[in-house]
Amino acid sequence: MIQPTHAGRVWSPVITPFNDDLSPDPQRFAAHCRWLLDNDVGLAIFGTNSEANSLTVSEKCELIDALAEAGVPGERMMPGTGKCAIGDTVALTRHAVGHGCAGVLMLPPFYYKGVSDEGLYRYFAEVIERVADRSLKVYLYHIPPVSQVPLTLALIERLLKAYPDNVAGIKDSSGDWRNTEAVIREFSAEGFQVYAGSEHFLLDTLRAGGAGCISATANVNPGPIAELARTWQEHGADERQAALSRLRHVFEGYPMIPALKAATALYGRDEPWFHVRPPLVELDDAQRQGLKAALDEQGFSMPGLGA
Amino acid sequence: MIQPTHAGRVWSPVITPFNDDLSPDPQRFAAHCRWLLDNDVGLAIFGTNSEANSLTVSEKCELIDALAEAGVPGERMMPGTGKCAIGDTVALTRHAVGHGCAGVLMLPPFYYKGVSDEGLYRYFAEVIERVADRSLKVYLYHIPPVSQVPLTLALIERLLKAYPDNVAGIKDSSGDWRNTEAVIREFSAEGFQVYAGSEHFLLDTLRAGGAGCISATANVNPGPIAELARTWQEHGADERQAALSRLRHVFEGYPMIPALKAATALYGRDEPWFHVRPPLVELDDAQRQGLKAALDEQGFSMPGLGA
């Protein structure tokens, strides 16, 4: 049975910095990753909020290499590796396994809609068989609002039965607590690690027996989120949860990725963080000012960033 | 002003054959392409019905190379090149331009939903600027039922204005005739080529001033579809259109891609055509028998295939 350490309870889909020409910036990326690790937050690089699908496979492999060279241990990385084409998913997953990554977060193939559980089972099975490595730990990525391809309980059950050594957990970004609760109830006793897709559900997830959360806003508010994950059984946890949710609500009032990057640019005093790749668009001046005012009102800061 | 020849009025998103190990089969692919060309149908390889997003960029580049080596002229190819990451789209588009392809059919980036026209404009603009070739002809690919990312009239107008030499047309797979009609009315006078995404709308499209159709079922029924495109102004066109639609309705009763491949396997007596890549699943025995019975009832055949 796999048990997450405290340090494994909160992960962030790390935002990806781009230069003026939209190429990735590995140094700025490593610096942000180091800041997250210093705040006890793991690196779920190449998630939805990392603009992962706006990066090529080779760009992603190079960024993992850059983190490894910068001294980031593989056990603190959980790269997103799920692509529409099996060959791409296998290449990226192998690269992650080669770096000793703690796990990989795997989207289903997301172009075709209305596909069957049988087809999704074959996809994941094919990837696992091709990678063929006992150290591979797959975290399934359930994010129907974006992927439009949900992962059912029946599919999880079948995959767990076929590949108990490789199917390690799930990130549930459905935003539907009843689903998260059902997955925890059904599978967590067997060591399957269930992460909520937002810290709104962090306390509920831990109390129900889940593993923690993998959250976009852990990019900007890592310390307090990780603190709740450490102290969830202590006095005042509900108040700490409420404070996390209040801050997250501010970000939810804007397009999430541009807002995370804007906060990082503004509070880290580092302009290039504003850049996003198309089809996303950076916040305009009015949005930046509105975001900053709302965050200041909550006493928000990103201590130690850019230091 | 670009005018399609008769031969340019019907294109097929060519189905992609796989070996038992799911690798692409370039010989079988070239043979099917040759059969389509013999039937006056152009090769919109790497469309939705080609399982394009289940192929890696390098697999697609190799398949284009294989067709070129087999003597297929670039002017009869219109590869799909739109991927979520700009770097992938540019690489594949450059490869197509290098082979002198008639055009490329470009999906918008389809992972993020609810993106703005501004973001989509920047995506297409960035691709066109990076490819930087006057011979590049982009056909926009509007297929909201699958991509979930629609292309608006305002976006088309802005792209046409900025890149009149490169933005050549659209495939409208919305299934919404009012949209197709509106695009023809707005832009076809300037030479913008509007293709319906199904032969259901072939006659209506040609009568309204559109260019033709790019249709999945042109994989299996190329001769009669191309015939209507040649003879649409002659007596009996409505009856010919009705016959095309009756046959297409049979295929629409099944998952389209597995059904196209099953028909090709059954009527071309060539088993490997049954293979699809996950997340798709081939037709089961009952479905194959049902499809065959329904097609036989319509006197369906694929003359010359596998000959």
How far, in Å, CA of A227 to CA of A6, rounded?
10
Cα–Cα–Cα angle for A264, A29, B83, rounded to 5 degrees: 100
Q: Does B267 map to a domain?
A: no
pLDDT of residue B7: 57
Q: Which two tokens stand for residue B247?
A: 């046959």
Q: What is the pLDDT of residues A125-140, one digit of tens each?
A: 999 999 999 999 999 9
pLDDT of residue A7: 56
Q: Does A233 touch chain B (CB under 8 A)?
A: no
Q: Does B284 map to a domain?
A: no
B214 is in an annotated binding site: yes
Q: Does A1 map to a domain?
A: no
Cβ-in-10-Å burial (0-12, 13-18, 19+) of A294 comes to middle
Q: Which of B141, B195, B254, B267 is the catalytic position?
A: B141
Residue B2: is its pLDDT beyond 80? no
Q: What is the pLDDT of residues B108-121, one digit of tens each?
A: 999 999 999 999 99
Query: B211 φ, ψ to 5°?
Result: -90, -30
Q: Does B255 map to a domain?
A: no
User: If you measure CA to CA, which chain A residue comes closest to B59?
Assistant: A87
Q: Does A72 map to a domain?
A: yes
How far, in Å, CA of B29 to CA of B202, rounded?
26
Task: Concatenate the DSSP letters of all residues of B246-269 into one string.
Answer: HHHHHHHTS-HHHHHHHHHHHHTT
Percent of chain B with pLDDT over 90: 96
For residue A57, the tally of other CB atoms under 10 A from its CB is 22
Cβ-in-10-Å burial (0-12, 13-18, 19+) of A299 comes to exposed
* CB–CB contact B54 A120 (8 Å): no
pLDDT of residue A2: 41
Q: Does B265 map to a domain?
A: no
What average pLDDT does this structure show over A1-18? 78
pLDDT of residue B259: 98
How many domains does chain A contain in total?
A: 1
How far, in Å, CA of B47 to CA of A207, rounded?
47
pLDDT of residue A306: 75
Residue B175: strand, helix, or coil: coil
The residue written with tokens 């959360």 in the block is: A213
Nearest CB neighbour to A53, from listed B85, B116, B122? B85
What residues of chain A lie within 8 A of the CB of B84, using their CB? 53-54
- The number of C-alpha atoms within 13 Å of A153 and in the hemisphere containing its C-beta is 11
Residue B4: is its pLDDT beyond 50? no
Q: What is the pLDDT of residues B114-148, one digit of tens each?
A: 999 999 999 999 999 999 999 999 999 999 999 99
* CB–CB contact A109 B54 (8 Å): yes
Examine the residue annotation and report whether A171 is marked as an active-site residue of this protein: yes
Reported ipTM: the value is: 0.96
Query: A259 φ, ψ to 5°?
Result: -70, -40
Nearest CB neighbour to A279, from listed B87, B112, B277? B112
> The CATH number of the domain where B220 resides is what?
3.20.20.70
Residue-averaged pLDDT of chain A: 96
What average pLDDT does this structure show over B60-89? 98
Query: For chain B, what is the radius of gyration of the CA atoms?
Result: 18
The residue written with tokens 């010989």 in the block is: B27
Identify the band that residue B306 occupies on the pLDDT scale cut at 50, 70 and 90: confident
Residues 6 or more apart in contact with residue B167 via CB below 8 angstroms: B128, B138, B140, B156, B159, B160, B192
Looking at residue A157, its amino acid is E
**Hey, which residues 23-62 in chain A have their CB within 8 Å of chain B?**
48, 53-56, 59
Residue-averaged pLDDT of chain B: 96
Residue B226: strand, helix, or coil: helix
Q: What is the pLDDT of residues B218-274, one digit of tens each?
A: 999 999 999 999 999 999 999 999 999 999 999 999 999 999 999 999 999 999 999
Cβ B117 vs Cβ B140: under 8 Å: no
Please report the beta strands in B131-227, taking only residues with DSSP state E, as ranges in sequence order: 138-142, 167-172, 193-196, 212-214
What residues of chain B lie within 8 A of the CB of A13, using their CB? none
Q: Does A299 map to a domain?
A: no
For residue A209, the tally of other CB atoms under 10 A from its CB is 12
Examine the residue annotation and report whether B111 is marked as an active-site residue of this protein: no
Range of the domain at B121: 6-235
How many Cβ pairs closer than 8 A exist between chain A and B? 108
Q: What is the pLDDT of residues A123-181, one digit of tens each?
A: 999 999 999 999 999 999 999 999 999 999 999 999 999 999 999 999 999 999 999 99
CA A296 vs CA A21, A252, A288, B41: distances in Å: 31, 16, 12, 62
* Strand order, beta sheet including A104-106: A42-43, A10-12, A212-214, A193-196, A167-172, A138-142, A104-106
The binding site of A for pyruvate comprises: 214
Cβ B4 vs Cβ B181: under 8 Å: no
Identify the band that residue B190 occupies on the pLDDT scale cut at 50, 70 and 90: confident
Q: Which two tokens stand for residue B47?
A: 């469309």
pLDDT of residue B307: 60
Residue A4: is its pLDDT beyond 70? no
Cβ B119 vs Cβ A281: under 8 Å: yes
Q: Does A200 map to a domain?
A: yes
